[in-house]
Structure 1
Amino acid sequence: MTAPALRRPFLVWRQRITLSTLACMAVLIAASLAAVFGRLLFPDAMHQDIMTGLVPPGSVGHLLGTDELGRDVLAMSVAGAGSALLGPVCVAVGSMLVGVLLGTLAGYERGPIDFVISRWTDLLLALPLLLAAIVVGGVLGGGYWVTVVLLVILFSPSDTRIVRAGVLEQSARSYVEAAQMLSLSRWRVMFRHILPNVSTLIVTNVMLNVAFALVAFSSLSFLGVGVPQGTADWGAQLAANREIMFDNPAAVFVPALLIVVVACAVNLVGDWLGQRLAQHGETM
Structure 2
Amino acid sequence: MSDTPTIDPTFIAIPTRRSRRRRISPLLIACSGVLLFVAVCAVAGSAVAPHDPGAQDLALGPAPASADHWLGTDGLGRDVFSRLIAGTRNAVVGPLLVAIGTVLIGTTLGMLAGLRGGRVDSLICRFADLVYALPALLMVVVIVGMVGGGSLIAWAVFIFFSIPTEIRLTRSATLRQSKLAYLDAARTLGLSTPRILFRHVLPNILPTVVATGMLDFVGALVGLSSLAFLGLGVAPGTADWGLMLAEERSIMDLNVWAALGPALMIILTAVSGTVVGDWLYDRLSQDRGRA
Q: C-alpha displacement at 1:235, in angstroms?
A: 0.3
CA distance in 1, matches of 2:23, 2:280: 10
Correspondence 1:279 to 2:257: no
Aligned to 1:266: 273
Aligned partners of 1:16 and 1:276 also within 8 Å: no
Matched, 1:47 2:64: no
What pairs with 1:71-150 in structure 2 (closer than 5 Å)? 71-150=78-157
Q: Distance in 2 between matches of 1:116 and 1:14?
A: 41
Kindly provide the CA deviation profile for residues 97-136 of structure 1, in whole angstroms up to 9, marking residues without a partner as x: 1111111111111111111111111111111121111111
Residue of structure 2 aligned with 1:191, choices 192, 198, 212: 198
Query: As a proportion of its length, which structure holds more helix?
Result: 1
Structure 1 counterpart of 2:227, one-letter code: L
Q: What is the CA distance between 1:13 and its match in structure 2?
A: 7.6
Rounded Cα–Cα distance in structure 2 between residues aligned with 1:124 and 1:28: 31
Aligned to 1:3: none
Equivalent residue of 1:279, what SS? helix
Which among 64, 73, 76 is matched to residue 69 of structure 1? Answer: 76
Q: Does 1:177 align with 2:184?
A: yes
Correspondence 1:153 to 2:160: yes
Identity among equivalent pairs (%): 42
Q: Secondary structure at the match of 1:211?
A: helix
CA distance in 2: counterparts of 1:275 and 1:258, whole angstroms: 26
Aligned length: 275
Aligned AA (2:248)? N
Amino acid corresponding to residue 48 of structure 1 in structure 2: Q
Task: Supply the AA of the counterpart residue of 2:110.
Answer: G
Comparing 184-193 with 40-49, greater Cα deviation is found at 40-49
Q: Distance in 1 between matches of 2:108 and 2:53?
A: 41
Letter in 2 for 1:266: G
User: CA 1:38/1:204 → structure 2, altered by over 3 Å: closer, same or farther?
Assistant: same
- 1:21 shift after superposition: 0.8
SS in 1 for 2:205: helix
**How far apart, in 2, do the equivalents of 1:188 and 1:56 lie?**
59
TM-score (norm 1): 0.92
Letter in 1 for 2:252: M
Partner residue of 1:242 out of 246, 249, 252: 249
- Are 1:218 and 2:225 matched, yes or no? yes
1:14, CA displacement in angstroms? 6.9
Structure 1 range deviating more: 140-149 or 81-90: 140-149
Distance in 2 (alpha carbons) for counterparts of 1:276 and 1:186: 28
Residue-by-residue CA offset, 1:216-245 (whole Å, 9 max, x unaligned) = 111111011121111111000001011111
Give distance in 2, aligned partners of 1:37 and 1:13: 37
Distance (whole Å) between structure 1 residues aligned to residue 57 and residue 199 of structure 2 = 57
Q: In the alignment, what sits opposite 1:37?
A: 44
Q: Give the whole-Å Cα distance in 1 for the aligned partners of 2:23 and 2:105.
A: 32
**Distance between the aligned counterparts of 2:71 and 2:196, measured in 1?**
56
Q: Alpha-carbon deviation of 1:72?
A: 1.0
1:52 to partner: Cα distance: 1.7
Deviations 1:10-65 (A, max 9, x none): x838734222111111111011101111222348312222122121122x522211
Q: 1:24 aligns with which of 6, 18, 31?
A: 31
Q: Distance in 2 between matches of 1:174 and 1:193?
A: 12
Partner of 1:207: 214
Runs (4+) of structure 1 exceeding 4 A deviation are: none
Q: Which ranges in structure 1 are unaligned for 5 or more consecutive residues?
A: 1-7
Counterparts of 1:237 and 1:92, CA distance in 2: 23
Of the structure 1 ranges 48-57 and 75-84, higher mean CA displacement relative to structure 2 is found in 48-57
Q: What displacement does 1:265 show?
A: 0.6
Distance, in Å, in 2 between the alignment partners of 1:111 and 1:130 is 32
